[in-house]
A and B are shown apart, each in its own frame.
Chain A
Amino acid sequence: MFILNPHASVPIYQQLIDQVRRLVAGGQLLPGAELPSVREMAHEHTVHPMTISKAYSLLESEGLLERHRGKPMRVAALRRNQSSVAAKLRQIEPQLEALALAARQLELSDEEVIAQLRKNLGEKS
């Protein structure tokens, strides 16, 4: 379900947080869905359990996950501000940054990029 790269420059817990946010905002993780336990995740990806539990704790304080004693972490019930456009846009912020960087390096003009982007978005819908 999650892709964690320990060798990336982004810390593992941050990668996990970003992915959970994206999946929840995008609807792939529905409210009430259970996430793997800390032990399972740590074992599967061979990472320190503390990293996973740090991510879970931060997500819990954000309100995205809820903890039930004796049971795995669950996605919290949907709240209004989670589905706001601004929050969703925050999810694709990294991709937009990367796009902007590439565009600048290739010295493409803003209009050219937006036109291409429209085409890509057009293909989707």
Chain B
Amino acid sequence: MSESAVSIQALHWAIKGRSVLQGITTEVRPGDVVGVIGKNGAGKTTLLETMLGFSPPASGSARIFGEDCRNLSEAVKMRIGFVPQQDELLPTLTGTHQISLTSSFYSTWDSALVDRLAREWEVPLDRRANVLSGGERQKLSTLLALGNRPDLLVLDEPVASLDPLARRRFLQQLLEVAGDAQRAVIFSTHIVSDLERVANRIWIIKDGRLLWDGETDNLKQSVRRLHIRARRPLPSELGLRGVLSSRRAPDNMTATVTVRDLGEADLQAAAARMEAHIESEGLGLEDIFLEIHA
């Protein structure tokens, strides 16, 4: 599997002089489920839409299955499924009509899958899109993206309007896709707990930069919260590398510091230097996210 699904090189995107994406370089291989998290306005949607060619980048490049995003061939487009953040359902078409409209573009449409999912997810197919609720529209949009069995599935906040049951069903379907090692998924979400289940790689976007690009497991093992209890007042500079946030107690004898990529040896050395006892606590993904943005 030498061909990567998505390859992004130094991608820049700007609007009206304001830089939104600043030099993003990363890669997605078949079999990856990439979770993209970031604050509102960090550039998640911009990254996904620029990557897919909706918007020409200011500089840099993005390649999907080896082809430049500005000039995707028909063959590559047939292998992509995309669920945008604001759904693009035509308001007066019913679900059935939407499906038949979308399916007419693809030769590899799997009607059985779409029908099955519509039943399982309880998507009403006989009502027009403009009378569906937000969650139903999201489900319908997702169905339309799954129908052509894409090799690259890109979803932009696909579960924002879904109740927990619907979200769980969606994640299970996503895992079906992920189970096929030839297919890749990229999805951005605010619901960090979903990513912990489903994503094996995480992209953290902050201020248009890729702050973290690696495996979920590594992220969890790399970010740790240190609880420091010293026998004498702590120095103003704790001398720890990779500090994300720190808080001290008023008495300056205890402190809580979140660090990233701090080795065990450095930890022991710091403990000795400060004459302190240091407990190291692992963090869940949501806490990691909060610490990074503290």
A–B contact (CB under 8 angstroms) = yes
Of all chain B residues, which has the CB nearest A14?
B217
The chain A residue sitting closest to B285, CB to CB, is: A7
Tell me the number of A-to-B contacts counted with CB atoms below 8 Å.
Answer: 57
Interface size class of A (residues with CB under 8 A): 20 to 34
Q: Is B197 a contact of A46 with CB atoms below 8 Å? A: yes
Q: How far is the CB of B262 from chain A (nearest CB, A)?
A: 15
Asked if A42 and B175 make an inter-chain contact with CB atoms under 8 angstroms apart, the answer reads: yes
Of A39, A50, A101, the contact of B200 (CB 8 Å cutoff): A50
For residues 262 through 281 of chain B, which have their beta carbon under 8 Å from a beta carbon of chain A? 277, 279, 281
Q: If the complex has contacts A11-B217, A11-B220, are A47 and B281 also in contact, measured as CB distance less than 8 A?
A: no
* Nearest Cβ on chain A to B184's Cβ, whole angstroms: 12
**A48:B217 contact, CB within 8 angstroms:** no
The reply to whether the CB of A67 lies closer than 8 angstroms to some CB of chain B is no
A8 neighbours in B (Cβ, 8 Å) = 282, 284
Chain B facing A: main interface SS: helix
With A46-B171, A101-B279 as contacts: A9 and B284 at CB distance below 8 Å:
yes
Chain A CB within 8 A of B33 CB:
yes
Give A contacts to B, CB under 8 Å. Answer: 6-14, 39, 42-43, 45-51, 101, 104
A105 to chain B, nearest CB (A): 9
Quote the shortest CB–CB distance from A116 to chain B (angstroms): 22
| Docked-complex contact B172 and A46, CB < 8 angstroms | yes
Contact indicator A13/B200 (Cβ below 8 Å): no
Known: A46-B168, A46-B171. A13 touches B217 (CB 8 A): yes
Task: Please tell me if the beta carbons of B284 and A43 are within 8 angstroms of each other in the complex.
Answer: no
- Contact in complex: A42, B216 (CB < 8 Å): no
Q: Determine whether B283 belongs to the interface, using a CB cutoff of 8 Å to chain A.
A: yes
CA–CA, A67 to B105, complex, Å?
43
Nearest neighbor of A51 in chain B, beta-carbon distance: B200
Q: How far, in angstroms, from A39 to B283 measured CA to CA in the complex?
A: 27
Q: Which residues of B contact A14 (CB under 8 A)?
A: 217
Q: Is B257 an interface residue (CB 8 A)?
A: no
In B221-244, which residues have CB < 8 Å from any A CB?
A: 221
